[in-house]
């Protein structure tokens, strides 16, 4: 069972993500980041690589793509907020750049 991040685990899991450009979504227990690529093909290719991991982990992002820009929001709907899965997927997204 996935659990919502506790106050004690938020700092260690989220601080490195904040340092890497992730921010909290205002009014929601979720994180967001905008990824900008050189062109649409690179953006879509990155999304495809992320989708493979998201499917493997059964944890899917909220995202949109307009040309070379991908807007991502991560939150775990089962716990109505952030879980370790969100931090894990965010780290994977950053590593696939």
| pLDDT above 80 for 55 | yes
**Quick one: tokens of 66?**
């307009």
Give 4's strand partners.
83
Residue 67 sits at the vertex; the CA angle it makes with 66 and 68, to the nearest 5 degrees, is: 105
Model confidence, pTM: 0.95
Q: Are 25 and 34 in contact (CB under 8 A)?
A: no
Predicted confidence (pLDDT) at residue 42 exceeds the cutoff of 80? yes
* Domain residue extents for the chain: 7-95
The tens digit of pLDDT for each residue in 56-83 reads: 999 999 999 999 999 999 999 999 999 9
19 DSSP assignment: H
Q: pLDDT over 70 for what percent of the chain?
A: 100
Helix (H) or strand (E) run with residue 91 in it: helix 84-95
CATH of 7-95, one of 3.30.1360.20, 3.40.50.300, 1.10.10.10, 3.40.50.1360: 3.30.1360.20
Residue 34 near residue 71, CB atoms below 8 Å = yes
* In the block, residue with structure tokens 């089962």: 78
pLDDT confidence band for 1 (50 / 70 / 90)? confident
Q: Which segments of the chain are extended strands (E)? A: 23-24, 31-36, 62-66, 69-74
Q: Per-residue confidence at 49, pLDDT binned at 50, 70, 90?
A: very high
């Amino acid at each position: 069972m996935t659990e919502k991040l506790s106050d004690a685990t938020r700092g260690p899991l989220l601080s490195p993500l904040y340092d890497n450009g992730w921010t909290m979504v205002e009014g929601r227990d979720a994180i967001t980041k905008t990824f900008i690529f050189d062109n649409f093909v690179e953006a879509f290719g990155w999304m495809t690589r992320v989708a493979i991991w998201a499917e493997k982990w059964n944890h899917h992002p909220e995202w949109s793509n307009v040309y070379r820009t991908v807007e991502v929001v991560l939150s775990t709907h089962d716990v109505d907020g952030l879980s370790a899965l969100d931090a894990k997927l965010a780290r994977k997204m950053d590593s696939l750049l």
